[in-house]
Chain A
Amino acid sequence: MGNNLKNELAVGKSEIGVGVERPRSYTNILPYMLVFPAVMVILLLYLYPFLASFWKSFINKEGVLSLANYEKTLRLYRYDVLFTLGVTTLSTFIATVLSIFVAVYLRLSKGWLSNSIGILYRLPIFLPFVVIAQMMRSFLAPHGTLNLFLAKLNLVNIENPLQLFNWAGLTFGFVWKQAPFMILIICGGFQMIDDSYIEAARSVGAKLPQIITKILIPMNKPTILIAVTLVFCSLVGCFSFPYMLIGGKSPVTITVDIAHRVNYFGDYGVANALGVFSYIMVSLLALYYVRSMMKKGLYD
């Protein structure tokens, strides 16, 4: 980047005077000058620490290059790594299925019910995870609102309530927050499909399941995949919600383990090794996302 900039500067200078209306040096440097501060911020405050997390994960306590951190991570947190992967995959899966159903319903149904759902469902998108964490703590508690309600319906014995401060509650919260976001994206995609396609399919006898699997989903595959990717990646990195819901109990997500490792032991090696595991977890989808965004370019 720096080198490139210098070259451009040099080129610009040599061409002074050749320009027609305005000095070309100015037009040549301008794009770089404008983008330079933003790039510097990301390089220094994002890319450098990002790369450092890889590097530091290979440095053991004595400051020597080794795999000790990975050995310890696998020994102590193997189960938590799988737990994170499991909960995230499950949540993403449920959110995807749920949001496709809701999006289909919103696309095909008319009336005040579907209209009001179409507005109300957006609410969770705007709530930060800290707020959701506090909400779920009181909602999902052993004697919280949900269990009390289920007990009133005689679905649950209140002396032996659902224990939800674990993977189940985590999944519930993740889906609650992320399914609406997916609905929003997928709905956008579904709106693009012209009614005439659906009418045509109906006229040759296609039933609802076929319309969904043969028309709506295939025509929106890229949109759905982007939504899945964004949700999965953000859930792997989510910290506040599992930290406040499950905290020091086990099993818990990687992000909470990282915080514990740092707060209790000041052990940055293992913390970074755990971080690398979280990178690996999202790497395939992340690459897919970067590639498809690059293809799309800025112009959508």
Chain B
Amino acid sequence: MFKKFTNFWVIFLMVSIIVIGVLTLGASAKDVKLVYMTAGDVNMLALGQHVIGPQFNEKYPNVSVMTVHTGPGNAGSRRVFEKIMADKDKKEGDVDVVMIHQIFLKWAMEEDLLLGYAKDIDTWQYITSPFAKKSLGVDVEGYCMPMFHSQAVIAFNPKYVTDPPKTYEEIVKWAEEHPGKFGYNGIKGGMSGVAFTCGWIYWKTGKYEKYAVTGPFDEAEIATWDEAIKELKEFNKNVTLTGGNVATLDALNRGEIWMGPVWVDMFLSWMAEGKLDPASRILLPEPGMPGQPMYFVIPKNSPNPEEAKNFVEFVTSPAVQAEEIVKRFNWYPGIDGSYIKDFVPKETFDVIYQDVTPAMLAEFGRAFPLGDYFDAILEAVE
């Protein structure tokens, strides 16, 4: 019996050595490992891990893409920012290419962390979006490539919401009549809640132009929001706070809420997967809610800048934009829509623009406020 146990330890030792050996060998596999960091919801992880990563690898077999996902909202952007900042003084950082929200651009431009690469790549010619030149009032032209654009909308289930509200004002009234049945994720759980909140401030102050387009930043404005924020807190008493962008959709499906702000692309993805009651619809309330792009940026000390540029070029090419960004993930394209028309069937556009039409987007699709106003609003609401 003793002997049996001694044998056990010998085998244990051998297995250990083999395992360590295999793990060390496995570490040195491919030529270039492109580290691609992405903020945002889990769909961003799926995009990198299952779609653009493997496809890029197919085209450039010597480059493998490692997708690193940091999470939604400002917290996700913050995590990327801290990583790039920590590597700032190194000659070569760890991160090659980043997919990021607008607020990150403001932070990164202030710290001069980014490579001005956009005009060097072929697909720059397809970019017409004003968001590629200015983001939250910061001049970013040449430092970033928009990959997609999305819009915050109000999703609802017509089975329970027979007469859907068309304006913010009607939403407030509806929420009063149906306590707990309007749900959103506040300002900490992701950007759809932030979009709803900024839309609220635009509605109450009527100063969208000043806050989001022309500027300039005026600290005196902050004091004028008191009333609007007090009313928002009052409104919050009638609503359900959800845990995040996706949690709002989930609560909608479970019938816990009947209405709430969501990202249009996620809504359409959930519909396509059968995870939402097929009767569900969306609307864009007056006087509008913000939408946002997400951008590709390359850190100044990216260890593989050439591969990173190829990667961005690949994802912003009309074919990939049409096939993956629009058709598969239901985003609005990052490049000018006219270049992808030939690649996308009419039915796809019909689905995407069924409830919220391009005309409505043009009229009520807003931008997030300028950087300083943005921070001030978030702080004031907290």
User: Is there a direct interface between A and B, measured as CB atoms under 8 Å apart in the complex?
Assistant: yes
Query: Which residues from chain A sit less than 8 Å from chain B, CB to CB?
Result: 141-143, 160-161, 165, 247-249, 260, 263-264, 266
Which residues of A are found within 8 Å of B256, using beta-carbon distances? 141-143, 161
Using Cβ atoms and an 8 Å threshold, which residues of chain B touch A263?
75, 78-79
Say whether B82 faces chain A, with CB atoms less than 8 Å apart.
yes
The complex places the Cα of A143 from the Cα of B82 at a distance, in Å, of: 38
Q: A160-B180, A247-B243 are in contact. Are A143 and B254 (CB under 8 A)?
A: yes
Q: Does B285 contact A (CB under 8 A)?
A: no
The answer, yes or no, to whether B186 is at the interface (CB within 8 Å) is yes
Interface status of B189 (Cβ within 8 A of chain A): yes
Which A residues are CB-close (under 8 A) to B244? 247
Check B330 for interface membership: any CB of A closer than 8 A: no
A-B interface pairs (CB < 8 A), number = 33
Q: Which chain B residues border A247 with CB–CB below 8 Å?
A: 188-189, 243-244
B188 surroundings in chain A (CB, below 8 A): 247-248, 260, 264
- List 4 additional contacts besides A142-B251, A263-B79; criterion CB under 8 Å: A247-B189, A248-B188, A248-B189, A263-B75
Interface size on B, residues (CB 8 A): 17
Chain A hits for B74, CB < 8 A: 264
B241 part of interface (Cβ distance < 8 Å):
yes
B254–A141 contact, CB under 8 A? yes
Instruction: Specify which of B82, B240, B255 is in contact with A266 (CB 8 Å cutoff).
Output: B82
Q: Contact between A266 and B78 (Cβ–Cβ < 8 Å)?
A: yes
A264 and B75 contact, Cβ closer than 8 Å, known pairs A143-B254, A249-B241: yes
The complex places the Cα of A266 from the Cα of B74 at a distance, in Å, of: 12
Q: Which residues does chain B contribute within 8 Å of A161, judged by CB atoms?
A: 256
**Per-residue contact bits, chain B 62-84, to A (CB 8 Å; 1 contact, 0 not):** 00000000000011001100100
User: Shortest Cβ distance from A137 into chain B, in angstroms?
Assistant: 9
28 inter-chain pairs at a CB distance below 8 angstroms, sorted by A residue, are A141-B254, A141-B256, A142-B251, A142-B254, A142-B256, A143-B254, A143-B255, A143-B256, A160-B180, A161-B256, A165-B243, A247-B189, A247-B243, A247-B244, A248-B186, A248-B188, A248-B189, A248-B243, A249-B186, A249-B241, A260-B188, A263-B75, A263-B79, A264-B74, A264-B75, A264-B78, A266-B78, A266-B82
Instruction: Determine how close the nearest CB of chain B comes to the CB of A160; give it in whole angstroms.
Output: 7
A245 — nearest CB in chain B belongs to which residue? Answer: B243
Alpha-carbon gap, A248 to B240, bound state (A): 14
Closest B residue to A246 by beta carbon equals B243
Query: Smallest CB–CB gap between A223 and chain B, Å?
Result: 33
Which residues of chain B come closer than 8 Å to A266, judged between CB atoms?
78, 82
Closest chain B residue, CB of each to CB of A265: B78
Expressed in whole angstroms, the minimum distance between the Cβ of B36 and any Cβ of chain A is 21
Write out the residue numbers on chain B whose beta carbons fall within 8 Å of the beta carbon of A143: 254-256
Q: Give chain B residues whose Cβ lies under 8 Å from the Cβ of A260.
A: 188
Chain A residues near B240: list those with CB within 8 A: 142
In the complex, per-residue mask of B199-215: 1 if CB is within 8 Å of any chain A CB, else 0: 00000000000000000
